[in-house]
Structure 1
Amino acid sequence: MIIRHLVLLACLAVTASAAQAGSLVYQPVNPAFGGSPLNGSWLQSEASAQNFYQREEQRRQQIGSALQSTSTAQTPGQIFAQQLQSQLYSSLANRITQSIFGENAQTSGSFAFQGTTIGFVRIGGNVQVTINDGQSVTTVTVPSAP
């Protein structure tokens, strides 16, 4: 039992010695602030991988280049002709819509232009519109009142 107390006393004496500690020194990671220059490429690759805006811009550029490669460059005259044709079709669509749903709505009628025939007829509370372009016939039924 005395030996046991001596061993315990010896262990306490060894562990009771003064604690030793070194000073804490901050070492930056970023080479721009004094860190290791070997960290530079790793930090850049991490930042690029996390940059949402750069990825989004790259995606937009890819889409834009894909669209440009599929379409041919048009002359100003071709662009004007397309816009004029679009306006004429829009005006024609407005006239047809007014004939079907306007103040003086008709019960039936048809319009023909450039090989396309559009006919309409009121059936109950619906209007049946038939579009025949010479190759196919499309029928659409819409309510006659909102």
Structure 2
Amino acid sequence: MKLLVLLFAGVVISCSLFAQDLVYKPKNPAFGGDTFNYQWLLSSAQAQDTYKDPSASTSSATRDPLEDFENNLNRQILYQLSRQLVSQQFGSDGLEAGTYEVGSYQIEITESADGISVSILDVATGSKTNVLVPNLQ
């Protein structure tokens, strides 16, 4: 019996010698976990999400192709009109040095060694914006 108790005590002592402390490390990076877990946790949460936001935009599969065509056509027409208005106002050569008045805006274009300076003054409010377009050379 003594031999069995000594053998049991030896096993218990030897097992405790190989034991280690348990350390908790969170998985979620918001709580101190590894940042590489972020994508995995996000994709996992999105896969489990069954709630659909009613105000969210519709997917491309449910969009109407005719409506897309109409929107695209409207954008192209407005783009062409704006290009024509700019070329009529500023000339076909682009922006030339001088002062222009468009509605309640006064646009002053000057050339300098640094590039082209465009100064836009809103006459109605008095606010002013300066834009410097640098030379590419």
Q: Which band: TM-score by shorter chain?
A: 0.3 to 0.5
From the two aligned structures, give the one with the greater helix fraction: 1
Q: TM-score, normalised by structure 1?
A: 0.36
